[in-house]
Structure 1
């Protein structure tokens, strides 16, 4: 596992936080009369790593800040910076989407390529990210997995809101991403989540003569202020849709897709059947 995360690029919010953190770390180190090499040796990191953090090229991991706080006798002031860095270590589009999800009373999503990100197991998500070409670096892969796991916390069986409606095309249940073992666990996880009282999980079978979701995956987020926004993601483009006419079209399309899909109870039976067909 990486001991640090890649630094922010073209991200004003992350950049501002990082500048504050790097200034604090440098001031405390210099006040202690330590060179970068001496400080690095004291906390178990190399001089190059310390330099990268103080120049804003790397985001220090929580353990880095903990050790710095201890060695520099900062009384918890440096360790407290972990909270400021907790969100900005994720890509900006992930942070923006997470904020929208946190402000939603209902999230609706149709997927026809992979299992929806909020429903993915770690092993399945790792396989999805690993298939990317050109491939992510080890740091980028770790960062994206951490971001996905962080977002998944919103799907919680212990709470009533937000409500979730997922429609998965049958193809996503049968595409063996990561291999049969990974896929079996993913299907088992879907069955567990389908039991959550605030989740409706439906399957759109491939044998339907009419499929209104052929244009691709999308989601709708109904917000606390009464507004609804859409979200589409394809290739490297992530777009939030706020135009009322475009949102209305997506809303109508999602309603049609739900009607074409199996109902939640039928969908659970369907997923159980697919799971039974998957080789152990």
Structure 2
């Protein structure tokens, strides 16, 4: 008999369970090592979009397991996770990681049908505000950003981003920190997306180059990253010097996204508040402000020279 593509034996299935676990490459050693499963993210109860996707995947995982005649404890032992973790995943309380789905696919002989759900979970693994911003960035033909506190997220090295997230108070849990770090790195793929060809304009206040987030070596690698990205043909990177008497960006960092449909959206983030701005008058204000900031900033060549100078001093 078959259910959802899984062959269900008419007789006892216990005889094949050990073989499935061995064929999946997961046995008692991995079970003891990863049984706690604490690296799997919890689902944010306030994120309805993510919750709906996770619950749909959870129902499929449960149906596949039951069709194979395995209890949660037996299935967990086979894939290297504890029974409690398996139960949490099947109740939609935790988001299974790709390796969880890969192991489940092999043990349940799903021929890629379970592993294919990794794509469904890839986006909802990140916080909603990150997903919303990523969607805007993906729809943009031009992205303009001014930063006066830290290096822009799309330009950050992983070390720099980790140091920045680690400094947050109250601190993120280890799980939250890894989740946000993964989201930050995933967003950066847009810089290398040859099919989209968005144009980027970044203006960094000189203070962000000199603020030693993460320490000397972290900042050295971050400055080197800026010099590398500045070589991209679709990236303009400028620095607004601290020596200027006037700075129209003192109100804080912001970005503008010029979208494919011809409209422009703004985005500001301060403390724990992340806000997308679509009101034409507010967007116009940010657009005007960015134009002044960019005009007052050093040219791209002068900016690279300043970054190299700061790198030599770091």
TM-score category by the smaller chain?
Answer: over 0.9
- Which moved further from structure 2: 102-111 or 10-19? 10-19
> Is residue 288 of structure 2 the alignment partner of residue 252 of structure 1?
yes
Native 8 Å contact 2:209 2:307 kept in 1? yes
> What does 1:176-255 correspond to in 2, within 5 Å?
176-255=212-291
CA distance in 2, matches of 1:232, 1:171: 19
Match of 1:9 in 2: 45
Native 8 Å contact 1:111 1:168 kept in 2? yes
Secondary structure, aligned partner of 1:195: coil
> Is residue 96 of structure 2 the alignment partner of residue 60 of structure 1?
yes
| Structure 1 residue 189, shift from structure 2 partner | 0.4
Secondary structure, aligned partner of 1:219: strand
> Is residue 97 of structure 2 the alignment partner of residue 99 of structure 1?
no
| Structure 1 residue 9, shift from structure 2 partner | 2.2
> What does 1:134-173 correspond to in 2, within 5 Å?
134-156=170-192, 161-173=197-209
| Structure 1 residue 73, shift from structure 2 partner | 1.3
- Which moved further from structure 2: 16-25 or 116-125? 16-25
User: Greater relative contact order (Cα 8 A, min sep 6): structure 1 or 2?
Assistant: 1
Distance 1:25 1:159, change over 3 A: closer
Native 8 Å contact 1:157 1:196 kept in 2? no
Native 8 Å contact 1:157 1:197 kept in 2? no
Q: How many residues align?
A: 278
CA deviations 1:85-136 (Å, max 9, x no partner) are: 0100001110000000000000000000000000000000000000011111
> What does 1:8-27 correspond to in 2, within 5 Å?
8-27=44-63
Native 8 Å contact 1:162 1:198 kept in 2? yes
- TM-score norm. by structure 2 comes to 0.86
Secondary structure, aligned partner of 1:203: strand
> What does 1:110-125 correspond to in 2, within 5 Å?
110-125=146-161
CA deviations 1:207-230 (Å, max 9, x no partner) are: 101100000000000000000000
Match of 1:30 in 2: 66
- TM-score norm. by structure 1 comes to 0.97
Structure with bigger gyration radius: 2
Native 8 Å contact 1:193 1:199 kept in 2? yes
| Structure 1 residue 160, shift from structure 2 partner | 7.4
2:86 to 34, 50, 55: 50
| Structure 1 residue 11, shift from structure 2 partner | 1.3
For structure 2, which runs of at least 5 residues remain unmatched after alignment?
A: 1-36
Moved over 6 A (4+): none
> Is residue 300 of structure 2 the alignment partner of residue 264 of structure 1?
yes
Secondary structure, aligned partner of 1:173: helix
Distance 1:2 1:149, change over 3 A: farther
CA distance in 2, matches of 1:15, 1:31: 24
> Is residue 237 of structure 2 the alignment partner of residue 174 of structure 1?
no
2:108 to 64, 72, 76: 72
Secondary structure, aligned partner of 1:265: helix
CA distance in 2, matches of 1:121, 1:64: 28
For structure 1, which runs of at least 5 residues remain unmatched after alignment?
A: none
CA deviations 1:5-54 (Å, max 9, x no partner) are: 22232112111111111101111111111111111000000011101111
CA distance in 2, matches of 1:23, 1:250: 46
